[in-house]
Amino acid sequence: MKVLFIGDIIGEPGRKMVKKEMPGLVKTYQPDLIIANGENAAGGFGITPDIADELFFMGIDILTSGNHVWDKKEIEPYLEKQERLLRPANYPSGNPGFGSTIFSTATGDKAAVLNLEGRVFMSTLDDPFRIADSEIEKLKQQTPVVIVDFHAEATSEKIALAWHLDGKASAVIGTHTHVQTADERILTNGTAFMTDVGMTGPTDSVIGVKKEQAIARFRYQTPHRFEIPKGPVRLCAVLVAIDEKTGKADSISRIQIS
C-alpha cells in the first residue's frame, strides 16, 4: 500500500498548489491513500466546511489537523459528522469530532489514520503516548496499517513517540512546524518516521506568513496581524510504502515540488 502524506496546506496558495499538482502526484506515485494536514487551509488559520469539501474534491482521502482546527467556529458541526476530517484524539472528551478513522482503499485494503497533538510548548492535553496506545490497540482490530499524524512543536517529543510506537504504527509523520526535515527512516521494528513533512505554502515566507510581519513580531514582541504572502509556492509531502498484511513500512521518501 502506498500512502501519500501532504504537509500542512497554507491558505489559498497552498490549496491552489495541491489542485495544480495532484494529477501529477497521482500519476507518478499511484498512491492508494492520500492524507493531508488541513488545519491552516482557511487563510492560514483553521479550516471551514467548504474548504474541507474542496480539498476532498481534489482527491484527498483524509484530512488531519492540530491546534488550529478550532479557529473557525463553523467547523464544529462539520467535525461532528465528517469522519474524514480528524482532530487530535488527545483533546479532552466532550469535544466534537473524531481522532481516528478507518479508510478502505480502492483495492479493498483498510488503513487507519490517527491524529495526535504534542504537549511540549503547546496546550496541556491528554497524554499522547497513552492515547496512542489505546487508540492503536482498537484500530488494529480492523487493520494492521496505522498511520499517525503527530502534530507537535518539539522534535524530541516527535522522535520519542515514534520510538514508542515502533512496531505498533506503520508510520509516524510529524506536522506543525512547517519545515520539512531530512531524517526520514524506517525504525528498528518497521515503523516509518519523519520529524516533519513540511508545508504546502508560500516559499518566501516565515512558515507561511509574510516575512515582514513575522520579523516585526520577533523584534518588537507586540501583536501583529499575520497574512499569507503571494509569490512562489512549495508543496512538501512524503510517500510511505507499507505491507498491508503486516503493517510494517517498506520505504519512506521525501517529496518537494516548487
Q: Identify whether 52 is part of a domain.
A: yes
- Three-state DSSP class for residue 112: strand
Region for residue 73 given its phi and psi (left: phi exceeds 0; alpha: psi -120 to 50; beta: otherwise): alpha
- The CA-based diameter of the chain, rounded to the nearest angstrom, is 55
Q: Has residue 32 been placed in a domain?
A: yes
Neighbours of 107 (CB within 10 A): 8
Percent of the chain with pLDDT over 90: 98
- Mean of per-residue pLDDT scores for the chain: 97
Task: Tell me the mean pLDDT in the region 132-137.
Answer: 98
Report, as an integer, the average pLDDT of 147-155: 98
Q: Which of 145, 168, 172, 158 is nearest to 64 (CA)?
A: 172
Closest CA to 87 of 112, 68, 61: 68
pLDDT in tens, 161-178: 999 999 999 999 999 999
Average pLDDT for 11-28: 98
Percent helix / strand / coil, the chain, rounded to 5: 30, 30, 45
Q: For residue range 231-249, list pLDDT tens digits in order.
A: 999 999 999 999 999 999 9
Q: Would you state the pLDDT for residue 104? A: 97
* Residue at 34 is within a domain: yes
- Residue 48 belongs to some domain of the structure: yes
Distance, in Å, from the CA atom of 179 to the CA atom of 200, rounded to the nearest integer, reads 10
Does a structural domain hold residue 215? no
Number of domains the chain is built from: 1
Predicted confidence at residue 122, as pLDDT, reads 95
With bands split at pLDDT 50, 70 and 90, how would you rate the model's confidence at 224? confident
Cell triple for residue 148?
499517525
Per residue in 173-212, pLDDT (tens digit) is 999 999 999 999 999 999 999 999 999 999 999 999 999 9
pLDDT, residue 225, reads: 82
Catalytic residues: 68
Q: Per-residue pLDDT for 78 more than 90?
A: yes
3-state secondary structure of 137: helix
Residue 12 lies in a domain: yes
Within-domain flag for 42: yes
Q: How far is the CA of 84 from the CAs of 35, 72, 144, 255, in angstroms?
A: 10, 18, 19, 23
- CATH (domain of 85): 3.60.21.10
Q: Cell numbers 509556492 correspond to what residue?
A: 233
| Predicted pLDDT of residue 114 | 98
Q: Does 220 fall in a domain?
A: no
171: domain range?
A: 2-202+231-257
